[in-house]
Chains A and B, each alone.
Chain A
Amino acid sequence: MVSIQNLHKKFGKNIVLSGVNLDIKEGGIFAVLGPNGSGKTTMIKSILGMVIPNQGTITVLGKNIKKSCNYRNQIDYLPQIANFPSNLKVNELITMIKDLRGKSTNEESLIKMFKLEPFLDKKLGNLSGGTKQKVNIVLAFMFDCPLIILDEPTSGLDPIALIRLKDLIQAEKVKGKTILITSHIMSFVEEISDEIVFLLEGEIYFKGTINELKTKTNQPDFERAIASILTENHA
């Protein structure tokens, strides 16, 4: 599905990714974890072509993404910070994105699911953080794409919306889609992910299931396992 070979990226003198190799198979939920500044978002943005790597190749669905843009038709993306043009209304934004991608969508059921009907005529600049994130989710799940990338999908969501989001992710997984998630909420990751990828200082430190991580670190629960990796490496 997605394959990354020897990915390097630095911003000025700051080396963010130094030789990431990663293969993501089709189907399932993959969580990308790592401390702040470990390069999670940079890696995801490289897959999307928003960040241009210094070195390395990325293939999505068997095609090299360099200088190509049509592969993004196969990706749904939820950005980390829900920044939208503030003078657009919610339904105008939805119509615009639909117009740009030119595909049929299921936004109505999503709007109903997240109870966004009262906000459709409001400007995006006047919405609260959580509501913006819900709009963000609607935009990301609106299209039926085989690859879904979610960067911190839980930020700002209330408990009900969080449950709905989990259901939504599981439903997409059942359809056989590949879902890539970054999150700092360990319980969320533990609950939904099939496999985790742990990034540390620009490299992949661990890739495998949560149980494998627990045995590797000799810790009874997931949160402690992650903590032990971090303390070992920063001590």
Chain B
Amino acid sequence: MLKILKYSFFDLIRSRWSYIYFAFYLTLGVVLLFLNNDLSKAVITLMNVIIVLVPLIGTIFGVMYYYNSKEFTELLLAQPLKRTTIFLGQYLGVAISLSMSLVLGLGIPFIFYGLFKSNAIWDFSLLLITGVFLTFIFSALAFNMALSNENKIKGFGYSILVWLFLAIIYDGIFLMSLILFEDYPLDKLSLIGTMLNPIDLSRTLILLKLDISALLGYTGAVFKQFFGTHFGLIVSITMLTIWVILPVFRIIYKSAKKDF
């Protein structure tokens, strides 16, 4: 698997898009720091960008890479390699190279700004960790969609739909249900609702870390009670890990049954 990972990774590293993605984060980091001059405010702004953009980029890159490397995949399938090896290698290649663009692109300007001397370092690390999780989750979801659809347009469409659902529609439905059932105690429900969506979970995790949970009112206090503790953090990280593992298992399952 390492060999496939290596080739996919270097293939992507050489592609123009990784550089554009890297350059985008680099500019974003530099601009935010110079315009803001305040590290924790920059982290909040970054969070808003990362929460929406990282899943989108992960989705698009995942689908594009799968369809673009179809020939490479067919070449590999005739070699003495397991299918699991081939597809997991490619998936990890995409996820790792995207994560690297993110971590380096944002990390470099922040290090120069003096991150290590600031106490925002934990907020910033959490931001990067959730960013990496989101990259792994959404590129795995995208691989799933691409594996299940021979038709490029369909695969692309469904992947974008998954992103749209988790990033926007889910929140809408969630909010509506909260308004609809406002007569009932909702803190447990909203806690579970947040846990089930990786994007919401990441957002809540970072917001609470930033100590602005007072803005969230009573629910915020409940959330703080849960996510603020070590237990909450461990449960959240476990939840994000499950969000990575489930789609990866489906990649293994689907790829074993597919005809090429």
Q: Residues on A close to B: CB < 8 A?
A: 11, 45, 48-52, 69-73, 75, 77, 79, 83-88, 96-97, 99-101
Cβ-neighbour of B260 out of A50, A75, A101 (below 8 A):
A50
B260 touches A45 (CB 8 A): yes
Instruction: Identify which of B11, B80, B259 contacts A69 (C-beta below 8 A).
Output: B80
Decide: A50 and B79 in contact? CB cutoff 8 A: no
A87-B78 contact, Cβ under 8 Å, with A52-B257, A99-B3, A100-B3: no
- Most chain B beta carbons < 10 A, residue from A77, A87, A88, A96: A96
Assembly CA distance A77 to B74 (angstroms):
11
Contact call A77/B3, Cβ cutoff below 8 A:
no
Q: What CA separation (Å) do A48 and B83 show in the bound complex? A: 12
Whether A85 pairs with B11 at a CB distance below 8 angstroms is: yes
Are A100 and B81 interface neighbours, CB within 8 A? yes
28 contacts between A and B (CB under 8 A): A11-B259, A45-B259, A48-B77, A48-B78, A50-B74, A50-B260, A51-B259, A69-B80, A69-B81, A69-B82, A69-B83, A71-B80, A72-B81, A75-B78, A83-B71, A83-B74, A84-B71, A84-B72, A85-B11, A85-B71, A85-B72, A86-B71, A96-B7, A100-B3, A100-B76, A100-B79, A100-B81, A101-B80
* CB-nearest residue of chain B to A42: B259
- With known contacts A45-B260, A52-B259, A101-B79, A85–B69 Cβ distance under 8 A: yes
Q: How far is the CB of B152 from chain A (nearest CB, A)?
A: 15
Residues of A within 8 A of B14 (CB): 87
- B1-40 at interface with A (beta carbon < 8 Å): 3, 7, 11, 14-15
10 closest residue pairs by CB, A with B: A83-B71, A72-B80, A73-B80, A85-B72, A77-B78, A51-B259, A50-B260, A50-B77, A69-B82, A100-B79
Residue of A nearest to B259 (CB): A51
What's the nearest-Cβ distance from chain B to residue A148, in Å?
12
A to B contact number (C-beta, < 8 Å): 59
Residue numbers in A under 8 Å from B215 (CB-CB): none
* Complex contacts, B75 vs chain A, CB 8 Å: 79, 83-85, 97
Please pick, from A70, A77, A87, A100, the residue contacting B15 in the complex, using a CB distance under 8 A. A87
Please name all residues of chain A whose beta carbon is closer than 8 Å to the beta carbon of B257 when the two chains form the complex. 52
Residue of A nearest to B84 (CB): A69
B259 touches A79 (CB 8 A): no
Report chain B residues within 8 Å CB of A51.
259-260
Asked if A50 and B259 sit within 8 Å, CB to CB, the answer is: yes
**Mask: chain B, 70-106; 1 = CB below 8 Å from A; 0 = not:** 1110111111111100000000000000000000000
Size category of the binding interface on chain B? 20 to 34
Determine the residue in chain B with the shortest Cβ distance to A46: B259
- The distance from the CB of A37 to the nearest CB of chain B, in whole angstroms, is 16
Q: Which residues of B contact A48 (CB under 8 A)?
A: 77-78
Residues of A within 8 A of B70 (CB): 83
In B133-152, which residues have CB < 8 Å from any A CB? Answer: none
Q: B258 contacts which chain A residues (CB < 8 A)? A: 52
* Cα A75 to Cα B258 with chains together (Å): 21
Residues of A within 8 A of B82 (CB): 69
| Nearest opposing residue in chain B for A124, CB measure | B71
Chain A residues lying within 8 Å of B79, measured Cβ to Cβ, are: 72, 97, 100-101
Question: In this complex, what residue of B is CB-closest to A48?
Answer: B78
Residues of B close to A75: CB separation below 8 A: 78
For B3, list chain A residues within 8 Å (CB).
Answer: 99-100
* Alpha-carbon separation in the docked complex, A103 to B170 (Å): 52
Please name 12 further chain A to chain B contacts, defined as beta carbons within 8 Å, in addition to the given A73-B80, A75-B78, sorted by A numbering: A48-B77, A50-B74, A50-B259, A50-B260, A52-B258, A69-B81, A83-B70, A83-B75, A84-B75, A85-B11, A87-B15, A100-B81
User: Nearest Cβ in chain A — how far from B140, in angstroms?
Assistant: 22
CB distance from B2 to the nearest CB of A (A): 11
Which residues in B have their C-beta under 8 angstroms from that of A72? Answer: 78-81
Kindly state the separation between the CA atoms of A97 and B76 in the bound complex, as whole angstroms.
Answer: 8
In the assembled complex, how far is the CB of residue B129 from the closest CB belonging to chain A, in whole angstroms? 32
Min C-beta distance of A92 to chain B, whole Å: 9
Closest A residue to B72 by CB, please name it. A85
Q: How far is B70's CA from A90's CA once the two chains are assembled, in angstroms?
A: 18
Q: Which residues of chain B are near A52, meaning CB under 8 Å?
A: 257-259
Hey, which chain A residues are within 8 Å of B71, CB to CB? 83-86
Cα A190 to Cα B140 in complex, Å, equals: 49
Q: Which residue of B lies closest to A140 (CB)?
A: B78
* Residues of chain A with a CB closer than 8 A to B15's CB: 87
CA–CA, A11 and B69, complex, Å: 23
